[in-house]
Amino acid sequence: MYYQKKFYINGEWVNPISSETLAVVNPATEQEIGSIVLGSTEDVDKAVAAAKQAFQLYGQTSVGERVSLLQRIIEAYQDHYDEIAQAISDEMGAPIGFAKQLQADAGVGHLAAALEVLKRYRFEEVVGDSVVYKEPIGVCGLITPWNWPLNQIACKVAPALATGCTVVLKPSEIAPLSATVFAKVMDEAGVPAGVFNLVHGDGKAVGTRLSNHPDVDMVSFTGSTAAGIQVAKTAADSVKRVAQELGGKSANIILADADLTKAVEDGVLECFLNTGQSCNAPSRMLVPAHLHDEIVALAQQVADSLVIGDPSDEATTMGPLASEMQFNKVQQLIAKAIEQASHLAYGGLGKPQGCEQGYFVKPTIFSHVSNDMLIAREEIFGPVLAIMPYSDEQQALDIANDSPYGLSGYIHSGDTDKARAMARKLRTGMVHINGALADFQAPFGGYKQSGNGREWGVYGFEDFVEVKAVMG
């Protein structure tokens, strides 16, 4: 059982000022497995004060000192690797194999990527007759989601510390357990007091106070577009920098010359990865109209191959949704799609056979979808795929770009040059060609309502630095 009654502030585990608790529920069993204390504005103030004080010294540390610190953090993370993976599996229902191979691994991957960037990053350069310095922005409020807990924590904390910033982290109250283990990692690595602080809580109290606090110099937020809008509005009065990675409704364009079997398998598995709870999931599969029925049949076969069930079983490939609220939302959206006369090709309402307990959902595929349907417009955040026919490649691009979101795109083609040319025309922050995996050194972020700023690699450093020009 995970009962965490303390916050990590100024290098110590301290008692919160608040006393209100929230149960942590295992979504595979619907049973309470622990609880956290929900922080108050006073708890945030205490953490921000510690971060502000620590910045006076930490902001002046050398690159070498910060390299050494990141190396120690990576070592400590590896020591707690299995504990982190287990916490992720327990708090959000991720299959244990997936939690080990991707979820926990993403955290150490971002730390390692930041370390390599730090070794070569140019904090000073001559431009014209001036010297341009990149200096740490200061105290950073980091607000992270529940769907990829350590991925999002690490890809914010790593560049913040690498550039000389201090941080206050508010992880999701839905999945707070792995964040607590991460705080243990930071403590054991010898992160200076006040440089890293953890306050649990909800968006209403902790998130709002981090966003409007006058001593917080920037906020980095990952979550829904609706919540991101509120963060930006709350932060506006203090004119602080706000970096956002928000929602998505990514299109996966399969061209007629693609290896259809591989393209469909890649697309379906990527859409259903993490039980569909990924902002960059390729949830719209755009296919040549004359191949539509063949592709639907292939997609059904891939869905049949999924092993849904107990996350503690190494054979399981798809676990439950992360919470009852998420389960109800996905069920409602599937029901609305059926009402709109979308063609249900696989899955549908209710739970999979044998998964009556837990927030499990059926992997669901709709076919013959048009881009005006709700299933094609709204981010479902569950294992729901919309297969959409197009008449020619220009129409495919038009459909793909006809979205309020612009996070990611996917293209499958037998001609890589053609795929790259098409990628240039997608209004998205990222494009994956022929199943290419994510690259921790490449920028992660989107256009339009998918957010602003970029994370990962050298681009992830830019939101955490101020630029100073010294003339003469």
The total of other beta-carbon atoms located within 10 Å of residue 305's CB is 10
pLDDT value at position 335?
Answer: 97
Residue 471 buriedness (CB in 10 A; 0-12 / 13-18 / 19+): exposed
pLDDT tens digits, 248-293: 999 999 999 999 999 999 999 999 999 999 999 999 999 999 999 9
Q: Provide the angle, in degrees to the nearest 10, between the axes of the packed helices 177-188 and 63-79.
A: 130
Per-residue pLDDT, averaged over 426-447, amounts to 97
| Main-chain dihedrals φ then ψ at residue 7, nearest 5 degrees | -105, 160
Q: Of 155, 165, 279, 355, which one is the catalytic site residue?
A: 279
pLDDT value at position 341?
Answer: 76
d(C-alpha 431, C-alpha 409), whole Å: 4
Residue 327 buriedness (CB in 10 A; 0-12 / 13-18 / 19+): buried
Mean pLDDT across the chain: 97
Q: Is 355 a known active-site residue? A: no
Residue 232 buriedness (CB in 10 A; 0-12 / 13-18 / 19+): middle
Could you say which DSSP state residue 311 is in? T
Query: Residue 1: pLDDT above 80?
Result: no
Give percent of the chain above pLDDT 90.
98
Per-residue pLDDT, averaged over 417-445, amounts to 97
Sheet holding 465-471, edge to edge: 124-127, 130-136, 465-471
Q: List C-alpha distances in Å: 107 to 126, 246, 408.
A: 34, 19, 21
pLDDT tens digits, 214-239: 999 999 999 999 999 999 999 999 99
Q: Which of 242, 290, 303 is nearest to 445 (CA)?
A: 242
Q: Is 265 a known active-site residue? A: no
pLDDT tens digits, 6-47: 999 999 999 999 899 999 999 999 999 999 999 999 999 999
Residue carrying the six token digits 């709700």: 374
Q: List C-alpha distances in Å: 61 to 55, 64, 68.
A: 10, 8, 11
Per-residue pLDDT, averaged over 201-213, amounts to 97
Per-residue pLDDT, averaged over 118-127, amounts to 97
Per-residue pLDDT, averaged over 181-204, amounts to 98
Sign of CA dihedral 350, 354, 357, 363: negative
Would you say 452 and 306 are in contact if contact means Cβ atoms under 8 Å apart?
no
Going by their DSSP bridges, the two strands 2-4 and 31-37 should be labelled as: parallel
What the block records as the tokens of 194 is: 């006040």
d(C-alpha 456, C-alpha 439), whole Å: 8
pLDDT tens digits, 343-367: 999 999 999 999 999 999 999 999 9
Q: How many CA atoms lie within 13 A of 371 on its CB side?
A: 19
Domains and CATH numbers, the chain: 2-246+450-471 (3.40.605.10), 251-439 (3.40.309.10)
Give percent of the chain above pLDDT 70.
100
What the block records as the tokens of 84 is: 């982190």
d(C-alpha 67, C-alpha 328), whole Å: 45
Q: Which of 309, 223, 317, 305 is nearest to 274 (CA)?
A: 317
pLDDT band at 101 (very low <50, low <70, confident <90, very high): very high
Q: Which helix (H) or strand (E) holds 17?
A: none
Q: Of 173, 245, 270, 379, which one is the catalytic site residue?
A: 245
Going by their DSSP bridges, the two strands 124-127 and 130-136 should be labelled as: antiparallel
pLDDT value at position 261?
Answer: 98
Per-residue pLDDT, averaged over 388-406, amounts to 98
pLDDT value at position 127?
Answer: 96
Q: List C-alpha distances in Å: 337 to 103, 293, 299.
A: 31, 19, 19
Residue 23 buriedness (CB in 10 A; 0-12 / 13-18 / 19+): exposed
Would you say 180 and 4 are in contact if contact means Cβ atoms under 8 Å apart?
yes
pLDDT value at position 129?
Answer: 95
pLDDT value at position 2?
Answer: 87
pLDDT value at position 95?
Answer: 98
d(C-alpha 385, C-alpha 295), whole Å: 12
Residue 405 buriedness (CB in 10 A; 0-12 / 13-18 / 19+): buried
Could you say which DSSP state residue 318 is in? B
Q: Give the angle 377-150-247 at the CA atoms, nearest 5°.
A: 15
Type of residue found at 394: Q
Whether the pTM exceeds 0.95: the reply is: yes
Q: List C-alpha distances in Å: 420 to 110, 402, 417, 430, 450.
A: 26, 20, 5, 12, 22
| Main-chain dihedrals φ then ψ at residue 467, nearest 5 degrees | -105, 125
Query: Residue 207: pLDDT above 80?
Result: yes
Going by their DSSP bridges, the two strands 218-222 and 241-245 should be labelled as: parallel
